Chains A and B, each alone.
Chain A
Amino acid sequence: NAGVIQTPRHKVTGKGQEATLWCEPISGHSAVFWYRQTIVQGLEFLTYFRNQAPIDDSGMPKERFSAQMPNQSHSTLKIQSTQPQDSAVYLCASSLEDTQYFGPGTRLLVL
């Protein structure tokens, strides 16, 4: 069991560029969650899919952020026109029932 896989592990972008983050959930898990972690805000929920359908995106910024789950084997988080305040560790988690298992995160730095 490889666990949740996130790619890339590190990404540096220039202000205004687009960033796409990938998450491969644990095989067989039906739910995928995205979180963001910064020193100032801590670990915050962004959005969540179950059986590929979006269920709750209450934590997603209203502009520039979008998430998709086109198939059961991966999800993407896209940030358009990145800003320095988007710099954070983006964490993906998957679950079969109640327990969520986290990936190692993608460290995004926007210069």
Chain B
Amino acid sequence: DAKTTQPDSMESTEGETVHLPCSHATISGNEYIYWYRQVPLQGPEYVTHGLQQNTTNSMAFLAIASDRKSSTLILPHVSLRDAAVYHCILRVANQGGSAKLIFGEGTKLTVSS
């Protein structure tokens, strides 16, 4: 699986819209972009994923660049509960063999009141 690059940390204030960037310049055509987040003492929580088109769900909006070399996870109106480490992960779709997720350091999002 190709590598992703994320900033180590970002700071925000409650109510703001936060843009978390992820660079994946060597992404392959059959690789999904997955986002997970993790808070201390809990397992990673699935946020969203996409292949080519922008996606949206109750948690976030995922904007994928037209060349797919970067993506941005957009969190509208963040609250203190959104403070977490956010991981951007590439994963080959419909893998017949290994389907493991490879986690990097992620971006630590701090939210202040």
Q: Which residues of A contact B (CB under 8 A)?
A: 4, 31, 33, 35, 42-45, 48, 50, 55-56, 58-59, 91, 93, 95, 97-105
CB neighbours (8 Å) of A44 from chain B are 103
* In the complex, B29 has a CB within 8 A of chain A: no
A48 and B94 in contact (CB under 8 A), knowing A93-B43, A105-B42?
A: no
> Which of these, A33, A99, A104, A105, contacts B100 with CB under 8 Å?
A33
Contact A48 B99 (CB under 8 A): yes
Interface of A is mostly: strand
Q: Are A42 and B105 neighbours in the complex by a CB distance under 8 Å?
A: yes
Please, what's the 1-or-0 string for B69-113, where 1 marks a CB less than 8 Å from any CB in chain A?
Answer: 000000000000000000000010110011111111100000000
> Are A102's CB and B102's CB within 8 A?
no
Q: Give, as a whole number of angstroms, the nearest-CB distance from A53 to chain B.
A: 12
The interface of chain B, by Cβ under 8 A from chain A, is 32, 34, 36, 41-46, 49, 91, 93-94, 97-105
- A11, B49: Cα distance in complex, Å: 34
A98 with B93: in contact, given A31-B99, A56-B98 (CB under 8 Å)?
A: yes
- Whether B44 pairs with A91 at a CB distance below 8 angstroms is yes
Closest 3 CB pairs of A and B: A102-B43, A45-B100, A43-B103
Chain A residues with CB under 8 Å of B44's CB are 43, 91, 93, 102
* B33–chain A nearest beta-carbon distance, Å: 12
B-side contacts of A45, CB under 8 Å: 100-102
Find A48's partner among B34, B42, B46, B98 (CB 8 Å cutoff). Answer: B98
Pairs A–B under 8 Å by Cβ, sample size 30: A33-B99, A33-B100, A42-B103, A42-B104, A43-B44, A43-B103, A45-B100, A45-B101, A48-B98, A55-B97, A55-B99, A56-B97, A58-B98, A58-B100, A59-B100, A93-B43, A93-B44, A95-B99, A98-B32, A98-B93, A98-B94, A98-B99, A100-B101, A101-B46, A102-B36, A102-B43, A102-B44, A103-B43, A104-B43, A105-B42
The answer to whether B99 and A91 have CB atoms under 8 Å apart is no
Residues of B within 8 A of A97 (CB): 94
